[in-house]
Amino acid sequence: MSKFWSRTAREAEPYVPGEQPSDVNVIKLNTNENPFPPSPLALEAMEQSINADLKKYPSPTADRLKAVIAEREGVDVNKVFVGNGSDEVLAFAFQAFFDPNEAIKMPEITYSFYPVYANLYDIPFQQIPLQNDLSIDVEGLKRSVGGVIFPNPNAPTGLALSRVEVESIVAHNPNQVVIVDEAYVEFGAESAISLTKQYPNLLVTKTLSKSHALAGLRVGYAIGDVALIEGLERIKNSFNSYTINRVSLAGAEAALADEPYYDETLQAIVKTREWVTHDLEQLGFWVAESKANFLFVKPNGIGAETLYQQLKARGVYIRYFNKPGLEGYVRISIGTDDEMKRLIDIIQALIS
Amino acid sequence: MSKFWSRTAREAEPYVPGEQPSDVNVIKLNTNENPFPPSPLALEAMEQSINADLKKYPSPTADRLKAVIAEREGVDVNKVFVGNGSDEVLAFAFQAFFDPNEAIKMPEITYSFYPVYANLYDIPFQQIPLQNDLSIDVEGLKRSVGGVIFPNPNAPTGLALSRVEVESIVAHNPNQVVIVDEAYVEFGAESAISLTKQYPNLLVTKTLSKSHALAGLRVGYAIGDVALIEGLERIKNSFNSYTINRVSLAGAEAALADEPYYDETLQAIVKTREWVTHDLEQLGFWVAESKANFLFVKPNGIGAETLYQQLKARGVYIRYFNKPGLEGYVRISIGTDDEMKRLIDIIQALIS
């Protein structure tokens, strides 16, 4: 605490990201990264962008990237906003659409950055408990005072709502903005993007970090009604004129255009997720029905924290959340088949 | 205006950056970019970073980049903060150190993003008029209520304060944070970084956009007392865990390490600035004594706005600010010798 800090700095409760070990031999199943490399076409486009033009600012409006996204998502280009990772997009959205003194709603167990944003911008929030089966309480998210945010699929459970359920939350908050964070949607859940045509209060955010294997590049986006996009642009242009650099723009444009590559890798990840779920269940573990690239798991025969520590000691990083309601669980990202076989082998040895 | 916008979004007054024409034949002297390409070693390091590791998040703490900066600036590594361009660093600093209800001070004519940040974070501000010679009023920036921000050299005038003058502002605001924005300092002004050892209230920000020809990469940093850096980290970690992507980290590290290349190109720019100043004065224009990579110019025999428009029609972009107090002036970035010869030729033809 310093006398030079603002009230905002004093009251901030920063987010703590998963560990990024420098040892390259580690099997990293702790931050939901994609086990496959980015599209070769994306790598090539980035290489091409490494030239003398880097002396010049990037496009402040990122029109070309927005056009690629609009094409891919089947929306008009003026319904697209882009940012430096979906974390930045979400931060801008909190600032653009939520107000102090008007409590927003979010699930009690969810992406733990949401309460951090709320604290940063002094927005009160109500955390709605999950249902007994760990799914999001759809009724509980209706009729908010200040707005709603939730991920679909939810993190860290991986459980998804149907589009009809998402729509009922949006329809029952007609005067509030509802943000649906679809960071993991490409791994098997239903996107709500088509609903943005009917609902001017719906903002859907996505990221290239997971589905497009570009966590290292930092590109995210949002889709919503023109007025919502304009609100985001107002905040962004009051914060940083050029949030996405030239190389990231080039890489993101090429990645989003390479659908065949990503279709194939997404399918491979889903396939791996299915057999790992089966194997963990065979070991007596409880596994939530994941529509994401990670599994939310309740170990059996070994404590969650012990499992995390024992795996770490053997060079396999998974995520353990030392938080009320989450102590009994671990979250395991889906790696390659080889990585997951190694994981299962170690777990088998640990519990036998 | 939308009913879904927060008060912050409604009241924001976004910054308008200089034009980024897509025509590659344009001579771009409007956004203070460096006319030289980035260091070949920086380009090489970026190329090397285009690989499968982009699937993984970048380092959230950017320790390697911070170490390079600490080495270069002669400070401890825990006195360094890095961000996605110095615009982002400045935005975080406003949020971390300035408070609503405590007016900060800034020069009346200065980088026009400062009032935008102040509006975004609801911070009142007092604009201190420049002196008659357009220099910053040092006395006027003393004894602030909430803090101080100014660039050195100032933009768009290019005029610099001495380190002694900067120190007197810092010393006369002992309980407030003073931010010195040294975006252009490498082109000939005295840096205040050495003063951060004595003054716990001094934060100095810098960018790789101008001096290091990397505007397209978006990397900036701040140097200050450990407590100030910690305040910035609290805001950053409440906003976006990974603000700088892998490629930008690699490029920035290599660029800052290649001092010989940048010493040479900085000297070339200063040399060009000197002869262009002389030539413009020969044409009867008034030119402020610039310590930056741009000239603040009062044309003679042609209006400022006309000059801007006529040059634009001939493929040369300079900056004209349609703002009270600035109507009589244009700002011209220093390009290559060939570009500046072309500029002088066109101006000569226009006024004869």
Q: What is the pLDDT of residue A146?
A: 98
Instruction: Looking at the complex, report in whole angstroms how far the Cα of residue B269 sits from the nearest Cα belonging to chain A.
Output: 14
Instruction: Looking at the complex, report in whole angstroms how far the Cα of residue A28 sits from the nearest Cα belonging to chain B.
Output: 9
Give the C-alpha separation, A277 to A290, whole Å.
9
Instruction: Locate the domains of chain B by residue range.
Output: 7-37+260-351, 40-258
Residue B315: exposure state from Cβ atoms within 10 A (0-12, 13-18, ≥19): middle
Residue A295: exposure state from Cβ atoms within 10 A (0-12, 13-18, ≥19): buried
Q: Cis peptide leading into B156, omega within 30 of 0?
A: yes
- DSSP state for residue A350 in the 8-state scheme: H
| A158 part of contact set with chain B, CB < 8 Å | no
Longest pairwise C-alpha distance within chain B: 60
Q: Which of A212, A192, A109 is nearest to A156 (CA)?
A: A109
Q: Which of residues 7-36 of B touch A (CB under 8 A)?
A: 7-9, 12-17, 20, 28, 31, 33-36
Q: Which of B59, B175, B169 is nearest to A19 (CA)?
A: B59
Cβ-based contacts of A2 with chain B (< 8 Å): 227-228, 230-231
CATH superfamily membership of A7-37+260-351? Aspartate Aminotransferase, domain 1 (3.90.1150.10)
pLDDT in tens, A113-166: 999 999 999 999 999 999 999 999 999 999 999 999 999 999 999 999 999 999
Give the C-alpha separation, B216 to A55, whole Å.
6
Q: What is the DSSP string of A31-63?
A: S---SSPPPHHHHHHHHHH-SGGGGSPPPSS-H
User: B129 with B137: CB under 8 angstroms?
Assistant: yes
Cβ-based contacts of B241 with chain A (< 8 Å): 15, 17, 87
Q: Which of residues 245-264 of B touch A (CB under 8 A)?
A: 245-248, 251
Q: Which of B12, B17, B37 is facing A235, going by the closest CB pair?
A: B12
Instruction: Looking at the complex, report in whole angstroms how far the Cα of residue B228 sits from the nearest Cα belonging to chain A.
Output: 7
pLDDT in tens, chain B (352 residues): 899 999 999 999 999 887 778 787 899 999 999 999 999 999 999 999 999 999 999 999 999 999 999 999 999 999 999 999 999 999 999 999 999 999 999 999 999 999 999 999 999 999 999 999 999 999 999 999 999 999 999 999 999 999 999 999 999 999 999 999 999 999 999 999 999 999 999 999 999 999 999 999 999 999 999 999 999 999 999 999 999 999 999 999 999 999 999 999 999 999 999 999 999 999 999 999 999 999 999 999 999 999 999 999 999 999 998 888 899 999 999 999 999 999 999 999 999 8
User: Which residue's structure tokens are 């980024």?
Assistant: B20
Q: Which two tokens stand for residue A62?
A: 């990122």
Q: Which two tokens stand for residue A257?
A: 């255009």
Cβ-based contacts of B215 with chain A (< 8 Å): 54-58, 242
Question: Residue B294 corresponds to which amino acid?
Answer: F
Q: Which two tokens stand for residue A282?
A: 């065979």
**Which residues neighbour B111 within 8 Å (Cβ) at sequence distance 6 or greater?**
B151, B155, B181, B183
Neighbours of B134 (CB within 10 A): 19
**Which residues neighbour A275 within 8 Å (Cβ) at sequence distance 6 or greater?**
A340
Cβ-based contacts of A120 with chain B (< 8 Å): 235, 238-239
Give the mean model confidence (pLDDT) for residues A225-246. 98
pLDDT in tens, A274-311: 999 999 999 999 999 999 999 999 999 999 999 999 99
Question: Residue B150 corresponds to which amino acid?
Answer: F
Q: Which phi and psi (to 5°) does residue B140 adopt?
A: -65, -25
Q: Which of B289, B276, B278, B263 is nearest to B334 (CA)?
A: B276
Q: Which two tokens stand for residue A330?
A: 């671990």
User: B189 with A31: CB under 8 angstroms?
Assistant: no
Q: Which two tokens stand for residue A101?
A: 């003194």
Q: Which of A265, A275, A228, A249 is nearest to A84 (CA)?
A: A249
Residue A44: exposure state from Cβ atoms within 10 A (0-12, 13-18, ≥19): middle
Q: What is the pLDDT of residue B45?
A: 98
Give the C-alpha separation, B59 to B79, whole Å.
18
Cβ-based contacts of A213 with chain B (< 8 Å): 54-55
Q: What is the pLDDT of residue B325?
A: 85
- DSSP state for residue A5 in the 8-state scheme: S
Residue A330's pLDDT band (boundaries 50, 70, 90)? very high
Q: ipTM above 0.90?
A: yes
Strands A330-333 and A80-83: unpaired
Cβ-based contacts of B336 with chain A (< 8 Å): none
User: A221 with A82: CB under 8 angstroms?
Assistant: yes
DSSP reduced 3-state for A261: helix
Strands A286-287 and B27-28: unpaired
| A119 part of contact set with chain B, CB < 8 Å | yes
Report residue A314 CA to chain centroid gap: 27
Q: What is the 3-state secondary structure (H, E, C) of chain B?
A: CCCCCCHHHHHCCCCCCCCCCCCCCCEECCCCCCCCCCCHHHHHHHHHHCCHHHHCCCCCCCHHHHHHHHHHHCCCHHHEEEECCHHHHHHHHHHHHCCCCCCEEEECCCCCHHHHHHHHCCCCEEEECCCCCCCCCCHHHCCCCCCEEEECCCCCCCCCCCHHHHHHHHHCCCCCCEEEECCCHHHCCCCCHHHHHCCCCEEEEEECCCCCCCCCCCCEEEEECHHHHHHHHHHHCCCCCCCCCHHHHHHHHHHHHCHHHHHHHHHHHHHHHHHHHHHHHHCCCEECCCCCCEEEEECCCCCHHHHHHHHHHCCEECECCCCCCCCCCEEEECCCHHHHHHHHHHHHHHHC
Question: Residue B298 corresponds to which amino acid?
Answer: K
User: B317 with B29: CB under 8 angstroms?
Assistant: yes
Domain B40-258, CATH 3.40.640.10 — does that match? yes
Q: Which two tokens stand for residue A46?
A: 């980035």
Give the C-alpha separation, B190 to B153, whole Å.
9
**Which residues neighbour A265 within 8 Å (Cβ) at sequence distance 6 or greater?**
A34, A36, A213
- In sequence order, the β-bridge partners of residue A202 are A178
Q: Which of B53, B42, B336, B98 is nearest to B232 (CA)?
A: B98
Instruction: Looking at the complex, report in whole angstroms how far the Cα of residue A15 sits from the nearest Cα belonging to chain B.
Output: 6
Instruction: Calculate helix-pair angle for A246-257, A40-49, nearest 10 degrees.
Output: 150
Contact A37 B54 (CB under 8 A): yes
Give the C-alpha separation, A194 to A190, whole Å.
10
User: A183 with A206: CB under 8 angstroms?
Assistant: yes
Q: What is the pLDDT of residue B62?
A: 97
pLDDT in tens, A306-326: 999 999 999 999 999 888 889
Which residue on chain B is closest to A244 by alpha carbon? B218
Question: Residue B245 corresponds to which amino acid?
Answer: N
Question: Residue A281 corresponds to which amino acid?
Answer: E
Q: Which phi and psi (to 5°) does residue B241 adopt?
A: -65, -35
Contact A43 B51 (CB under 8 A): yes
Residue A65's pLDDT band (boundaries 50, 70, 90)? very high
Q: What is the DSSP string of A298-347?
A: E-SSS-HHHHHHHHHHTTEE-B---STTTTT-EEEE---HHHHHHHHHHH
Give the mean model confidence (pLDDT) for residues A173-178. 98
Contacts 24+ apart (CB under 8 A), A272-277: A272/A334, A272/A335, A272/A336, A272/A337, A272/A340, A273/A187, A273/A334, A275/A340, A276/A332, A276/A334, A276/A340, A276/A343, A276/A344
